A and B are shown apart, each in its own frame.
Chain A
Amino acid sequence: MADNTNGRGHPEPRFDQFVSKATSRRQFIKGVIFSGAAATGAGYLLTLGGCSGGSGSASGVERLLTLNVNGQTRPVDVLPNETLAMTLRYKLGLTGTKLGCDRGECGACTVLIDGVASYSCSTLTHAVRGRPIMTIEGLEGPNGELHKVQQAMIDELGPQCGFCTPGQIMSAVALLEANPTPTRDEVRHALSGNLCRCGAYDHYLNAVMLAATGERVSQA
């Protein structure tokens, strides 16, 4: 790959080599994750690979962990400095969890750890061994039916662009587990750790209130 590095040691992403116009971005990323040979060409994965290399000392060694994700037991090789968001997205293929800021400042990466809403970008994967992790992918029912918060998001047209929605939903699910009958202010407080750059906050509040009460707030 020496011919297409960018001078800083990172190969330039060459998406055109791998992705045809008929393939969606999502399918492409999932395809890359599950095919080891192509993985080195994906820009997304390079940041991870680049870091694990480095010195070649013991500090870069992956260790096999067993994670409990969405009720499944998932063995996965994890670096000491790897965040849960990295593991979920780039090793387990659970790309529903989004990475926005990667600094605990936006909430897009929110997942449930022991049922508690947590920023997966600010959690070391090694620290959640054996603890139940729930991502947006784990919300659907046994027959593929949506969680009531997900359905309410559709009914209330909650999201605009949708990037922050998985995090907003996970925060709402954590709230409704602890407090099934929240007030609108309590919902606002529970979602206050999730930014929405479209500013669809009120729509999200409408949706969570619909999920909690079964009654529509908006006039739509």
Chain B
Amino acid sequence: MSRDMMSAFELYQPDTVDGAVDLLGRFGAEGWALAGGNDSFDWFKDRVKRPKYVVDLGGIAALKGIRESADGGVEIGALTSLTEVEQSSVIQGRYKLLADAARRVASPQIRNSGTIGGNVCQDARCWYYRYGVDCYRAGGNTCYADTPEGQNREHCLWGADRCVAVSPSDTAPALVALDATMVIVGPGGQREVKAEEFFIGPNIDIERMTVLEAGEVLTAIRLPAEWSGARFYFEKVADRNTWDFPLVNIAAAMKVSGAAGSETVDAIRIVAGAVQCVPRRLTVVEEVVRGQAKTAETASLAGQSAVRGATPLNFNHFKIPLLQNLVTRAIRDA
């Protein structure tokens, strides 16, 4: 069967955010907001999603670029490419965690066209769901991944609620660790949501992964001054070094005091991706580590505490020691 052409749609290319919001509001469920297209076109070509109206956000200049803001933070336009994020001197200098995460996304060409907004708004990568079956996330009443034969080595350790898909993003854990704020514009005006609350699990809404309502557009991501220049650690483990989604990734931001070799952790935010439907903030690890000496023992204890309560599926037990080791490394090497 030939599936190499997308089904027909009408294409709109607005110049302004207001224009895009107006169009998306008019089209409702038949509309689709398009950023870099790397997620969208897969859906279209597989004919799983067939929007009648596609609103291309790529021509909106106001959504692009990286700006230092008056309060000492940085604002990244949602349509800024992952390559620009990775290579920005401001991001590399002050929020290296995000540059490191962006560098590990997919392949160079995908980072060139893929946007940071698209990377955090991309849909679940569960292959059953992507195949177009009538699973819970697609509005049906079955999960094909969480069955005795279901292939679920990529799926979740926490937060299963009918659906067992995970957050596929590499930049999302970094943004939660940096305590970023997401700026959203919709028909009702602008609102701001903490990155930690931006992502939602199947217990809140099984058919979407973020708080974005139909007709809303993520316009910018703000990084607060608080974590500028902190100690960072990012590591992604995947089956392949390029193109692949994470099996587990870890992003940590840490502030330490004291002389080298006898440092104390004063503050920390640490987040794991691909273990839950949302980037999982490891608050237990933060409690264990905060105020403690930054030693191998602390790191080991942190690793053990990270995996408490993990509920593996049939084929993803390996993620438990993987996450434990990544957390241990993050605390030890940050």
Complex CA gap A99/B58 in Å reads 24
- Chain A CB within 8 A of B16 CB: no
Q: Give the nearest-CB partner of B107 in chain A.
A: A193
Chain B, residues 44-60, CB within 8 Å of chain A (1/0): the string is: 11000000101010110
| Segment with Cβ contacts to A, from B2-10, B142-150, B276-284 | B2-10
Query: In the complex, what's the smallest C-beta–C-beta distance from A97 to chain B, in angstroms?
Result: 13
Verify B113–A122 contact, CB threshold 8 A.
Answer: yes
| Segment with Cβ contacts to B, from A34-42, A111-119, A148-156 | A111-119
Verify B41–A122 contact, CB threshold 8 A.
Answer: yes
Q: Give the nearest-CB partner of B4 in chain A.
A: A102
- Chain B CB within 8 A of A24 CB: no
Verify A55–B8 contact, CB threshold 8 A.
Answer: yes
- Chain B CB within 8 A of A86 CB: yes
Q: Give the nearest-CB partner of B40 in chain A.
A: A122
Verify A81–B5 contact, CB threshold 8 A.
Answer: yes
Verify B8–A193 contact, CB threshold 8 A.
Answer: no
Say yes or no: A81-B11 contact (C-beta < 8 A), given A48-B5, A127-B56, A192-B241: yes
Say yes or no: A127-B13 contact (C-beta < 8 A), given A122-B38, A122-B113, A171-B109: yes
Count of B residues near A, CB < 8 Å? 33
Verify B9–A59 contact, CB threshold 8 A.
Answer: yes
Say yes or no: A47-B42 contact (C-beta < 8 A), given A80-B9, A81-B11, A117-B108: no
- Chain B CB within 8 A of A103 CB: yes
Q: Which residues of A contact B56 (CB under 8 A)?
A: 124, 126-127
Q: Which residues of A contact B108 (CB under 8 A)?
A: 117, 171, 189-190, 192-193
Query: In the complex, what's the smallest C-beta–C-beta distance from A83 to chain B, in angstroms?
Result: 8
Q: Give the nearest-CB partner of B11 in chain A.
A: A80
Q: Give the nearest-CB partner of A189 in chain B.
A: B108
- Chain A CB within 8 A of B127 CB: no
Q: Give the nearest-CB partner of B241 in chain A.
A: A192
Q: Give the nearest-CB partner of A121 in chain B.
A: B41
Q: Give the nearest-CB partner of B109 in chain A.
A: A193
Complex CA gap A12/B6 in Å reads 21
Chain A, interface SS category: mixed
Say yes or no: A117-B37 contact (C-beta < 8 A), given A81-B8, A193-B243: no
Query: In the complex, what's the smallest C-beta–C-beta distance from A84 to chain B, in angstroms?
Result: 11
Which of A83, A122, A193 gathers the greatest number of chain B CB atoms within 10 Å? Answer: A122
Q: Which residues of A contact B112 (CB under 8 A)?
A: 116-118
Verify A81–B7 contact, CB threshold 8 A.
Answer: yes
Count of A residues near B, CB < 8 Å? 40
Q: Give the nearest-CB partner of A51 in chain B.
A: B5
Complex CA gap A179/B106 in Å reads 21
Q: Give the nearest-CB partner of B112 in chain A.
A: A116
Chain B, residues 146-188, CB within 8 Å of chain A (1/0): the string is: 0000000000000000000000000000000000000000000
Complex CA gap A156/B6 in Å reads 39
Say yes or no: A104-B38 contact (C-beta < 8 A), given A116-B112, A192-B242: yes
- Chain A CB within 8 A of B110 CB: yes
Q: Give the nearest-CB partner of B34 in chain A.
A: A124
Interface residues of B in 1-29 (CB under 8 A from A): 1-2, 4-11, 13
Say yes or no: A51-B7 contact (C-beta < 8 A), given A104-B41, A192-B241: yes
Q: Give the nearest-CB partner of B37 in chain A.
A: A122
Query: In the complex, what's the smallest C-beta–C-beta distance from A32 to chain B, in angstroms?
Result: 17
Q: Which residues of B contact A103 (CB under 8 A)?
A: 41-42, 45
Interface residues of A in 35-87 (CB under 8 A from B): 47-48, 50-52, 54-55, 57-60, 79-81, 83, 86
Interface residues of B in 114-150 (CB under 8 A from A): none
Q: List 9 A-B contacts (CB under 8 A).
A: A80-B54, A83-B6, A99-B4, A104-B38, A104-B110, A105-B243, A124-B56, A127-B59, A192-B108
Q: A51-B8, A121-B41 are in contact. List 20 more A-B contacts (CB 8 A).
A: A47-B4, A47-B5, A48-B5, A50-B2, A52-B8, A57-B8, A59-B10, A81-B11, A83-B41, A99-B4, A102-B45, A103-B42, A103-B45, A104-B110, A118-B112, A118-B113, A119-B113, A122-B38, A190-B108, A192-B241
On B, residues with C-beta under 8 Å from A are: 1-2, 4-11, 13, 37-38, 41-42, 44-45, 52, 54, 56, 58-59, 83, 106-110, 112-113, 241-243
Q: What are the 8 closest A-B residue pairs judged by CB atoms, nearest first?
A: A193-B107, A80-B11, A192-B242, A51-B5, A81-B6, A193-B109, A59-B8, A193-B108
